[in-house]
Structure 1
């Protein structure tokens, strides 16, 4: 089941620096949004291939778009969800933002150790028996993932097709739905890239407009290597769209599913502690400052050091970050956190 919309007019909320700028184009409009700056991911050239960097979302995956809509539109104390790699961690992250938690139902042999650690660190739990109340393939996920289509229309890349890594096929289906529903959308073919030998994605049977292509596993691995050399550390399936797009022309590939790394909670050096005190002092005199603007107030430190200290302060809960639009640019700004 999905929400069907027809002749959707392109209407954005320009002051929103996240995917919720398209809220008036969605079938669901929750009264209160749970967001952490997901969406509005950039499109850049990587080794000559246009790539939409979904790994820039808060947890490194396009699933954040689905999780934001789910947690905003379906409030629960506990979300009992079927395990799906990346999605379970993403939902745990957004549930925590809303003061909730997740309980993930999974087969032990299916679990990615990285997901176990991440879910546990966010207060989630795992079950090996029982029935989930929620799974990745649901109407709210489709609404969140549709926003990728709206971003492609707004950014107007020089591309005739979008290449989408496909396992269940929900991502490709959702993007196609968004383009099909939008009145006056430019013709852009959605191409689902399936790794040869994998089952045909079930959701692709619900769309007549999606083109399905296969790619050899060896080609995906070569794509992984090329991406790693450019600093993109992503999972095998996530590299399939890039690998296929590198052999084609006039297309944009979705890159998602980055490998998460443990984060340091605080700098250990005395200089780091001093820098954090200076940042708090600057923000106490007025927030809504970008990292660059904060650094300009203390040029004796490095810009890289300021970024590191900001990340540490945010993890400690001393400062809060959000996104805002300045002209056509999405800027991350910082301020002191208010009382809960």
Structure 2
């Protein structure tokens, strides 16, 4: 996601601001050339390497926490702090899921807008005010943009969000509820990003991306500090959804601060959990449009995991959905599917005897209310008739469903799966048209048969059709 601030429409990117000198408790430093920076850049402008804030020594307090700002010794010091009481989220044990009893759950879905990103929004919008900004612009199709819109509302700032034309309706409505102005452009997040970059370059506006912005890391590290403050060395493993890599990096920095503050003696193992990319659900749950900066961040995260005996693990997205539903039914926690990746990972690692749930904590990053469409696509059991939809369109929709759910992947299997109610010729005609329109791609399964898979465009079209059917 891209974020930029503007003051009266323009804030120059290359203009030094004395306010940046004042808010750092410890100034950011390049890991390679040792350049000291004052602005919150994650990458060194000289050598391009990772920039970070060094370990900070904070004091321990056993007073109850009300928000992440109770850890202000570890955070940049802004004169005006914008807060909706984010952070200080509860930690509960798993009670009823077989083999996972005792697993600690850090419930970031209890934040004001239902996401761990509220911590970042608090710092970023506080920074915007320190810049005397009047507007915060972003490019996001997810919870980050919604969170920023909410924090801009409480700060009295204007929020503008640039997003693709095919963004899920529920996300658009949430942005509107918080008063964000929307600019829809292109069919993908990358196209929206490029449009935003071009617009910003023309206007000379300052552009800090969260994937390039140290305030993201500094805000999210408070998640780790909150549980080390309570459990210290009793935590041996931390399960983190991978996403873009920023949360994993934040947890690593939180560990460093906890050790520096003597809250922790032995660093726990960080386990970064990602999704296998060969499933329909991976397209619906995670954005697969990774830009170059995100690739750099993931590379840096992997280096740090390797250096600190961390672990990367991939899980099946379909299993993750089932685990999210089980967590709701047995524990009462309704979380977004990406959050449940850590539950699936915990089950897998327990079976391999690699973790003890009682000394492991899993971070649940967001609320299931932010991803109702994904759950709907999983639990849908009744086929609805859409009046006015041409039979050929209905057949194409059924074909896309079969391919997406791995129930059939070639013409003959699809014909049989549809009950042989269509001619073989019409099935191959539909497949040809779907391929022509870029909704599916084909490769030879055997010398005579093609194997079909959905393209990203196909997954998005299918998701939109499902959403439409649910509304009718």
Structure showing greater Rg:
2
- CA drift of 1:196 comes to 1.1
SS at match of 2:369: coil
- CA drift of 1:12 comes to 5.5
Gaps of 5+ in 1: 262-340
SS at match of 2:304: coil
- CA drift of 1:58 comes to 0.5
Normalized per residue, the structure richer in helix is 2
C-alpha separation between the residues in 2 aligned to 1:98 and 1:52? Answer: 27
Q: How does 1:220-299 map to 2 (within 5 A)?
A: 220-229=320-329, 230-247=331-348, 248=350, 249=356, 250-260=359-369
Asked if structure 1 preserves the Cα contact closer than 8 Å seen for 2:65 and 2:88, the reply is: no
Q: How does 1:102-141 map to 2 (within 5 A)?
A: 102-109=159-166, 111-127=167-183, 128=185, 129-131=195-197, 133-137=207-211, 138-141=213-216
- CA drift of 1:108 comes to 1.9
Q: How does 1:186-201 map to 2 (within 5 A)?
A: 186=265, 187-197=267-277
Asked if structure 1 preserves the Cα contact closer than 8 Å seen for 2:236 and 2:360, the reply is: yes
Gaps of 5+ in 2: 1-40, 43-50, 186-194, 201-206, 283-287, 306-310, 351-355, 371-472
Normalized per residue, the structure richer in strand is 1
Instruction: Tell whether 2:235 aligns with 1:169.
Output: no
Per-residue CA deviation, residues 35-84 of structure 1 (Å, 9 max, x unaligned), is 11111111111232311000110011100000001111222221111114
Could you tell me which residue of structure 1 aligns to residue 224 of structure 2? 149
Distance change (3 Å), C-alpha of 1:152 and 1:130: same
C-alpha separation between the residues in 1 aligned to 2:118 and 2:92? Answer: 20
Q: Residue 159 of structure 1 is aligned with which of 232, 235, 260?
A: 235
C-alpha separation between the residues in 1 aligned to 2:160 and 2:154? Answer: 15
Could you tell me which residue of structure 2 aligns to residue 204 of structure 1? 298
Could you tell me which residue of structure 2 aligns to residue 293 of structure 1? none
C-alpha separation between the residues in 2 aligned to 1:101 and 1:119? Answer: 12
Could you tell me which residue of structure 2 aligns to residue 315 of structure 1? none
C-alpha separation between the residues in 2 aligned to 1:222 and 1:88? Answer: 27
Per-residue CA deviation, residues 250-298 of structure 1 (Å, 9 max, x unaligned), is 311111221338xxxxxxxxxxxxxxxxxxxxxxxxxxxxxxxxxxxxx
Q: Residue 59 of structure 1 is aligned with which of 113, 132, 156?
A: 113
SS at match of 1:241: helix
SS at match of 1:80: strand
- CA drift of 1:135 comes to 3.2
C-alpha separation between the residues in 2 aligned to 1:89 and 1:12? Answer: 33
Number of aligned residue pairs: 259
C-alpha separation between the residues in 2 aligned to 1:257 and 1:149? Answer: 16
SS at match of 1:252: strand
Q: How does 1:69-88 map to 2 (within 5 A)?
A: 69-75=123-129, 76-88=133-145
Could you tell me which residue of structure 2 aligns to residue 269 of structure 1? none
- CA drift of 1:150 comes to 0.9
What is the Cα-based RMSD across aligned positions, in Å? 2.2
The TM-score, its normalising length taken from structure 1, stands at 0.70
C-alpha separation between the residues in 2 aligned to 1:235 and 1:98? Answer: 27
SS at match of 1:178: helix
SS at match of 1:246: helix
C-alpha separation between the residues in 2 aligned to 1:192 and 1:16? Answer: 27
C-alpha separation between the residues in 1 aligned to 2:79 and 2:215? Answer: 15
Asked if structure 1 preserves the Cα contact closer than 8 Å seen for 2:141 and 2:171, the reply is: no
C-alpha separation between the residues in 2 aligned to 1:169 and 1:7? Answer: 19
Distance change (3 Å), C-alpha of 1:53 and 1:15: closer
